[in-house]
Structure 1
């Protein structure tokens, strides 16, 4: 990872929270949490705090999902904590970071925060309706290096910014790598990014909307989606 030039970077990258979920699938309204990670990094990217949860999601984990994150139904049922407890504790941990003014980094934030919101409703936990401040390296990278070719998965983007990612699709590894990518972006694009996390959060709302509109136009042009079914650009939660 690029060495952080502390006096040349925005204050918001000095201490960041990190958040990631591994789940039973990609439908935020119906799929469930399998593993979760919430932690904090210091200005050098070193881990300050770290907690990972394994949940018993209460439903079978599809083989395809288990092949990605490595957790089978049998393992989750034997070793996992009841889903309601995990959802409450993850929500409380995130709420504490936001209350302390610590920005939370989540790669493709609308996925994780939306799925957590639906899980909260499912288990009678008060949801985080408006997570803030949030830093989404996917949105910031697309804005900062718009015309770079290639995929924008976390593993590809981490490699681009020389951020190690050992154990991709493991919640703690992905969360920590995403936090370090956010800090690497702050170093590389310090002259382009807002100086305050509040402004960065607000800017990302517009950037995500514009990116969704551009992707919608492209998919309509190649016949992948119908013009009446645009991509939802809501951020950081849908």
Structure 2
């Protein structure tokens, strides 16, 4: 049976910022999608480790510092449970689907290290599917941006509550399913091969972005910030994280 006819495990987080090395997870969701069964989701609200959630981040996902602190659970417990849920999915052979997986999985890794929790990639060997990487591979020259909202519009996937972790996790799975149905060769790859192919595709895509920045006036300084690793940026050092 093709991988796209089995359950997909969607993963998404909303955060305190855009740097995976220092930002904190505010909300997270792990959803089981497809496989002939209704979708089920498990969601978390964290206290963000006590850090202030900037107004710019709140404007995206709607969670204020006050709400996180009053209604959120302790960050270490949230990070441990999300990591365990994804490790269980990986151990049962189900793929983890994440839009812009490099960011979400790197952030989860750093959060785990921050709290002394064994990181996902130290306890499992997940096969990851990133609809952003797939879309750039199959339709390289399509003009315009490729946010999740853009992909949902292009592949005719409903997304009613963008920037909520559950809605985004479900949408990423639905877009992935649509991609597999539209581009038949994708679903003929087994999961391990699909994962390895995405490692190469993501690197090529990142190299293209880096080169674009390097030759564009006013953006040259951004070239050095482009990471070529996928789906996880290796931890830069051992020890505690701020």
TM surpasses 0.5: yes
1:198-209 aligned at under 5 Å gives the runs 198-209=192-203
- Equivalent of 1:216, from 197, 210, 216? 210
Q: Which stretches of structure 1, 4 residues or more, deviate above 4 A after TM superposition?
A: none
Which residue of structure 1 aligns with residue 177 of structure 2? Answer: 183
Asked if 1 retains the 8 angstrom alpha-carbon contact of 2:4 and 2:187, the reply is no
Residue 118 to residue 73, structure 1, CA distance change in 2 (3 Å)? same
**Separation (CA, whole Å) in 2 of partners of 1:197 and 1:19:** 17
Asked if 2 retains the 8 angstrom alpha-carbon contact of 1:87 and 1:116, the reply is yes
Q: Which has the higher helix share?
A: 2
Q: Secondary structure in 1 aligned to 2:120?
A: coil
Does residue 45 of structure 2 align to residue 50 of structure 1? no
Does residue 9 of structure 2 align to residue 17 of structure 1? yes
Asked if 2 retains the 8 angstrom alpha-carbon contact of 1:45 and 1:179, the reply is no
Q: CA RMSD in A?
A: 1.7
**Separation (CA, whole Å) in 2 of partners of 1:26 and 1:45:** 34
Query: How big is each residue's C-alpha offset from its partner over 1:139-161, in whole Å with a ceiling of 9 and x where there is no partner?
Result: 00000010111100000111100
Does residue 226 of structure 2 align to residue 234 of structure 1? no
Asked if 2 retains the 8 angstrom alpha-carbon contact of 1:208 and 1:233, the reply is yes
Which residue of structure 1 aligns with residue 65 of structure 2? Answer: 73
**Separation (CA, whole Å) in 1 of partners of 2:188 and 2:210:** 27
Which residue of structure 1 aligns with residue 131 of structure 2? Answer: 137
Aligned residue pairs total 229
Residue 105 to residue 227, structure 1, CA distance change in 2 (3 Å)? closer
**Separation (CA, whole Å) in 2 of partners of 1:89 and 1:15:** 20
**Separation (CA, whole Å) in 1 of partners of 2:229 and 2:188:** 20
The unaligned stretches of length 5 or more in structure 2 are: 234-242
- Equivalent of 2:86, from 83, 94, 107? 94
The TM-score, its normalising length taken from structure 1, stands at 0.92
User: Larger relative CO (CA 8 A, sep 6+): 1 or 2?
Assistant: 1
Residue 13 to residue 138, structure 1, CA distance change in 2 (3 Å)? farther
What is the Cα deviation at residue 80 of structure 1? 0.4
